[in-house]
Each structure stands twice: as C-alpha cells, then as structure tokens.
Amino acid sequence: MRGYLAHLRVERGLSPHTLSAYERDLARYTRYLRHSGVHDPASATPEHVSSFLEALRTGADGARTLAVSSASRTLTAVRGWHRFLLEEGTTSEDPAAGVRPPQLGRRLPKALSIEEVGRLLEAAGSGDSPVSLRDRALLEVLYATGARISEAVGLVVDDLDPGSGVLRLFGKGRKERVVPVGGYAWTALEAYLVRGRPVLAEKGRGVPEVFLNTLGRPLSRQSAWAVLQAAARRAGLSGGQDVAGQRHVSPHTLRHSFATHLLSGGADIRVVQEMLGHASVTTTQVYTKVTVDHLREVYATSHPRARD
C-alpha cells in the first residue's frame, strides 16, 4: 500500500489531501479483508470487493455508513490499488476489475444569478483594511477564473501576469492551465497587492503565496471557505441550509456560477472545459443542462404561443 501511495504522489502528482483520503479508504478495505480471513491481496476475490462495497453503504464492517459519492470514491481507491498490484506483478489477477461503483444521482450545480454574485462580491470587502482588500480580491478571482479553492490559495505572486491579463493555476495532479482574468478581478487584485498584502506580509517570513492571513502566512483552504461564508451571510445569500429562502453557498458555488454564466453568454463548451481544467468535456456538459433551463424560461416568456 505504501508503494501505491508513493506512486500516486510521485507519478500522478496527487495532493496531500487526496492522498490522505486514499490512505483512509485503503486502511478500511484492508481491515475488512483481514476480518474476512484475507491477509494477502493476492487472495482477495471479486466477492470480497463486492461485499466490501455493500459494507460501505450499510456499515456492516462496524465503520460508519457512506453516501453514494463517498462509497464510489473509496471503491476507486480499491480498484486503483488492485490494478497497481497487477501491473507491478505482485498479483496475477485483479479482483476489483469487474466491480462497478454505485451510480451517482445526477445533480445539477446550483449557480448564483449574476445579480447575486454582484451582491456577494460587494459584501466580501467593503472597507479598505488589508483583510477587506484580500477578501474582495480572493472572491473576485474565484468568480473570474472558476478556480477551485485549493487552486486560489495556492497562487503565488509569480503566477500572476497583469501584462497579459492571465494567471496560472495548478489543478488536480499539478496540471497547469492559464486562465484569463477580467478587469474587475485585476483591479481588486492590484488594490490588495499594493495596499493590503505588504501589511500582512510584514508579520510573516516572506512566503510567495498571494493570499496571506493576519500572521503573514499562506491563507488556508478552511480560512478561505470562512471568508466566502461571511460574505454570503452579509449579502443575505446564506444563513444555513435550514433557513427558508436562503441557500448554502460554498466555494464550488462560484465555480458553478462561472461556468454557467459563460455558457449562458455564448461561450464554447470546449473553452469552458479548458478554463475549468476538466480532463473530459463530459464533465463540463452538466452545465449545459442549466443553460437549457434558462432557454426554456426565455422561450416560455417570449414566444407568443408558448403558453396555453
């Protein structure tokens, strides 16, 4: 297992966060095998893998039950490990090859409207303090580029190219992509870099990351998440999932909104795929369903014979 995790880290370039999740998944799987009398991966059978998948959904192994998405991720780790063992010659068969992950329900992304995004960004940093300038710049970048939260907090100063109007992001597997940035985001970034970041950096040790906390250290994913939540509350967009009329706003909400608004505005899906960093256009196509709903709404309110 250590060899597989090293392979994922070195050759696949997976992040420490993803590696930690894979390690937990595989630890649960190997515990299940041991309790089933299997002490060598070469002795595992398709039935063992299938029954483990069932245990993930029922908690029959004594651990917590998992949602379909989490069970699917765990099975992906198991399948990858067995495939690695086969390719390395450690085993002669792959018992997980024929076990399929549970089907995920197809949920459409929840995007904010353009007006709601405007309110969110205005609420992000209304003052001129270093923290307010940072918060506004962070959320402007998230919406302007469709970046994942980990990609945004991982930005370093050398990744910014104001002259060309682009910045460089490093996605899953450290895959690099270059994304254009709009004028609003550049204005917010420049204000932060000139008047905010130097003040925050005084307390640190000269780290290269763009977004810093009040101690001059790189802003964490959790802190960036909290910045968004605070702005959403101030904008009246998020008060918890149980508050009527309000919605749960996450970092991915801005990513969804970025893609949906581009496609609604006529952007080519291949271009949006490139900017999102999706390996396959199939992943990006889920956003087209959102824009089809918009088309239906426009048709229903505009065509003279659309209504009964």
Catalytic option among 73, 172, 234, 247: 172
Residue 234 annotated among the catalytic residues of the structure:
no
Residue 107 annotated among the catalytic residues of the structure:
no
Residue 252 annotated among the catalytic residues of the structure:
yes
Residue whose token pair is 């895959």: 175
Residue 255 annotated among the catalytic residues of the structure:
yes
Strand order in the sheet with 166-170: 160-161, 166-170, 176-180
Residue 287 annotated among the catalytic residues of the structure:
yes
Q: Which of 69, 11, 58, 2 has its CA nearest to residue 30?
A: 2
Quick one: tokens of 239? 């008060």
Residue 106 annotated among the catalytic residues of the structure:
no
Catalytic option among 100, 203, 252, 270: 252
Catalytic option among 48, 82, 255, 256: 255
Catalytic option among 4, 143, 192, 287: 287
Catalytic option among 9, 217, 221, 278: 278
Catalytic option among 148, 197, 256, 261: 148
Quick one: tokens of 88? 């390395």
Residues annotated catalytic, as ranges: 148, 172, 252, 255, 278, 287
